[in-house]
Chains A and B, each alone.
Chain A
Amino acid sequence: MSAYAIWVAFSTILVKEIRRFMRIWGQTLLPPAITMSLYFVIFGNLIGSRIGEMGGHDYMEFIVPGLVMMSVITNAYANVVSSFFGMKFQRSVEELLVSPIPYWVVLAGYVAGGVARGLAVGLIVTLLSLGFTHLQIHHVGVTVLTIVLTAILFSLGGFINALLATKFDDIAIVPTFILTPLTYLGGVFYSITLLPPFWQTVSQFNPILYMVNTFRYGILGVSDIDIGGAFVMILGFIAILTATSLYMLKNGKGIRS
């Protein structure tokens, strides 16, 4: 396909994905807004005022970046996994399979859709947080780069999950049993320096810790970990998941019998 045709095909998927999550906003954009507002009220205001400082910042200020990141991760993942699995379930994935669209464009389109939803929710949560605290962005470049790369990474994860899933239960397993625990243990609510040395070491194996901390560094200028190393790690994961997705698409894993 020509570069123009590829662009048309890519934007067809992206626009379709954006239209989808906008159309069902009550299931996609509203729930994180409500949940995160509750977090802000309960942890930030009510409990946070008793906690005092965390990592050299007011507790509310400390958890906002983590909660934004948590929303981006969950929503990027959820968007791709439910949309692509839905296509498989209704067989409309065949519309893609019969067409000459290259696999990498399919992947790019769905990942872009996941990133769009992740960023939309991230923005909504950030705007809501302004009602509770004052945010000053320490390093815009790091902030934006981290959030985009994280959204890409979890969109890729959602895509692979959708390829592997054979029934609706399969798309809930990873978010419930892996993503949520890793996020909660990834330093959203606390600085890992509070943990005993052993658990600090264990936490180092949690990739989400690096994303939350890099993002927090972008906004507040504080981090528990090395920023450069964190970027290398995120990019490494993206490379691995991209290669896996493309390999699976090429072999028709989960989409062709």
Chain B
Amino acid sequence: MVQALELKALRKTYGSGLEALKGIDLSVRQGDFFALLGPNGAGKSTTLGIVSGLVNKTSGSVKIFGFDMDTHPVDAKSRLGVVPQEFNFNQFEKVFDIVVTQAGYYGIPARIASASAEKYLRKLGLWEKRDSAARLLSGGMKRRLMIARALVHEPALLILDEPTAGVDIELRRSMWEFMNELNAHGTTIILTTHYLEEAEALCRNIAIIDKGVILENTSKKALLGKLNKETYVIDVVTLPEVMPVLPGAEFTVDDEQNLVVTIDASINLNRVFAVLSAHDLVVRSMRTRSNRLEELFVEILGRDAVGSQTS
């Protein structure tokens, strides 16, 4: 089956001389829910910008459902919906008009576009705001407006560049649900985010990019399988004076006066408790620290940083 997105040896050097992408290869399967992760300035938006036709590539190729962006731009672009990182609508135009006008650029007449615009504005909770000028919307609403606009022509591939930035928790959850529903109905989704729990909750496949290079490109399962350390935060009644010692585990104290233990996957948790009991430490509660993907992410990027220092 043809890939929803296929990037080959994609390079981008900006006019300033900055090499933002250093030859990227990436494939996203049809129906996938794919996360492109990386720190600020890694090249995520540049990659998605090239795919969307907003940034000129320096070299390489982009194919959307097998259609090359250079030779078959109409076939490629009509299958693609884009939600950029920055707001990019006319602030003075009305919400409804923005969505219908976008459909017009895809050759969809207003009669049909109006129905589609209503459907998505309702789903995204913006129908009541349809006659407001875009600038009067809140930040979270503006982001949803861009999602409605990206969907109006029913694209098979949806690209979202930090769609939940600045969106409150409740709304973020409802957007996750919405994206899952879209994906379940067959829309391939590519997402960038700095909330790693979002990527962990939603995505099946993940690529990690830094400094214009793809460091990892694999399934979430395989990625998480690589995680061979787990960190727990333990709330103890009184902190020990001398740290417990256990091979394969490392005990520290964090800023909030919690006991923190990082253990190898091979170590059994019972052994940790045995050591704690031996030290007469009373455990009030325990939780895993942060999210697992986040740790892995930091580890992978750290490894890269060490690599680039030595090379």
A binds B: yes
CB interface residues, A 73-130, toward B, < 8 Å = 86-87, 90-92, 94-102
> Do B74 and A94 touch (CB < 8 A)?
no
- Which residues of A are found within 8 Å of B77, using beta-carbon distances? 98-100
Known contacts: A90-B88, A91-B86, A99-B102. The answer to whether A8 contacts B108 by CB under 8 A is: yes
- Which residues of B are found within 8 Å of A11, using beta-carbon distances? 104
Closest CB in chain A relative to B204 CB, distance in Å: 25
> What is the bound-complex CA distance between A251 and B70, given in angstroms?
12
> What is the bound-complex CA distance between A102 and B101, given in angstroms?
16
Known contacts: A91-B88, A100-B77. The answer to whether A256 contacts B56 by CB under 8 A is: yes
Q: How many residues of B contact A (CB 8 A)?
A: 33
> Do B74 and A257 touch (CB < 8 A)?
no
Closest CB in chain A relative to B20 CB, distance in Å: 10
> Do B105 and A95 touch (CB < 8 A)?
yes
- Which residues of A are found within 8 Å of B240, using beta-carbon distances? none
Known contacts: A252-B56, A257-B15. The answer to whether A8 contacts B104 by CB under 8 A is: yes
- Which residues of A are found within 8 Å of B52, using beta-carbon distances? 94, 97-98
- Which residues of B are found within 8 Å of A92, using beta-carbon distances? 88-90
- Which residues of A are found within 8 Å of B82, using beta-carbon distances? 98
> Do B53 and A95 touch (CB < 8 A)?
no
Q: How many residues of A contact B (CB 8 A)?
A: 29
User: Whose C-beta in chain B lies nearest to the C-beta of A12?
Assistant: B104
> Do B90 and A90 touch (CB < 8 A)?
yes
> Do A95 and B56 touch (CB < 8 A)?
no
- Which residues of B are found within 8 Å of A16, using beta-carbon distances? 101
Task: Out of A1, A6, A256, name the residue touching B54 (CB < 8 Å).
Answer: A256
> Do A94 and B54 touch (CB < 8 A)?
yes
> What is the bound-complex CA distance between A252 and B70, given in angstroms?
13
> Do A5 and B54 touch (CB < 8 A)?
no
> Do B102 and A95 touch (CB < 8 A)?
yes
User: Whose C-beta in chain B lies nearest to the C-beta of A94?
Assistant: B88
Q: Could you mark each residue 72-104 of chain B with 1 if its beta carbon is under 8 Å from any beta carbon of chain A, else 0?
A: 011111101010101111110000000001101
> Do B78 and A100 touch (CB < 8 A)?
yes
User: Whose C-beta in chain B lies nearest to the C-beta of A92?
Assistant: B90
> Do B14 and A257 touch (CB < 8 A)?
yes
Tell whether B109 is near chain A: CB-to-CB under 8 Å. Answer: yes
> Do B91 and A90 touch (CB < 8 A)?
yes
> Do B53 and A98 touch (CB < 8 A)?
yes
Tell whether A4 is near chain B: CB-to-CB under 8 Å. Answer: yes
User: Whose C-beta in chain B lies nearest to the C-beta of A87?
Assistant: B90
> Do A5 and B56 touch (CB < 8 A)?
no
Tell whether A2 is near chain B: CB-to-CB under 8 Å. Answer: yes
Interface centre among A8, A13, A86, A102 (most CB of B within 10 A): A8
> Do A9 and B88 touch (CB < 8 A)?
no
> Do B91 and A9 touch (CB < 8 A)?
no
User: Whose C-beta in chain A lies nearest to the C-beta of B108?
Assistant: A8
User: Whose C-beta in chain B lies nearest to the C-beta of A15?
Assistant: B104
> What is the bound-complex CA distance between A85 and B52, given in angstroms?
21
Task: Out of B53, B80, B105, B107, name the residue touching A2 (CB < 8 Å).
Answer: B107
> Do A257 and B90 touch (CB < 8 A)?
no
Tell whether B245 is near chain A: CB-to-CB under 8 Å. Answer: no
> Do A90 and B74 touch (CB < 8 A)?
no
> Do B88 and A4 touch (CB < 8 A)?
no
- Which residues of B are found within 8 Å of A4, using beta-carbon distances? 107
Q: Could you mark each residue 104-135 of chain B with 1 if its beta carbon is under 8 Å from any beta carbon of chain A, else 0?
A: 11111110000000000000000000000000
> What is the bound-complex CA distance between A5 and B75, given in angstroms?
13
Q: Could you mark each residue 214-236 of chain A with 1 if its beta carbon is under 8 Å from any beta carbon of chain B, else 0?
A: 00000000000000000000000
- Which residues of B are found within 8 Å of A86, using beta-carbon distances? 90
Closest CB in chain B relative to A220 CB, distance in Å: 42
> What is the bound-complex CA distance between A243 and B56, given in angstroms?
20
Tell whether B55 is near chain A: CB-to-CB under 8 Å. Answer: yes
> What is the bound-complex CA distance between A5 and B77, given in angstroms?
14
> Do A6 and B107 touch (CB < 8 A)?
yes
> Do B101 and A97 touch (CB < 8 A)?
no
Q: Please list 24 pairs of residues, one from A and one from B, whose beta carbons are closer than 8 Å in the complex, sorted by A's number.
A: A1-B107, A2-B107, A6-B107, A8-B104, A9-B107, A12-B101, A13-B104, A90-B88, A90-B90, A90-B91, A91-B88, A94-B84, A94-B88, A95-B88, A95-B89, A95-B101, A97-B53, A99-B102, A100-B73, A100-B76, A100-B78, A101-B105, A101-B106, A256-B54
Known: A5-B106, A8-B109, A95-B105. 7 other contacts (CB 8 A): A8-B108, A9-B105, A98-B77, A100-B76, A100-B78, A101-B105, A257-B14
Report the 8 A-B pairs with minimum CB-CB distance, sorted nearest first.
A5-B107, A12-B104, A99-B105, A91-B88, A100-B77, A100-B74, A92-B90, A94-B88
Chain A positions within 8 Å of B, measured between CB atoms, are 1-2, 4-6, 8-9, 11-13, 16, 86-87, 90-92, 94-102, 251-252, 256-257
Chain B positions within 8 Å of A, measured between CB atoms, are 14-15, 49, 52-56, 73-78, 80, 82, 84, 86-91, 101-102, 104-110, 149
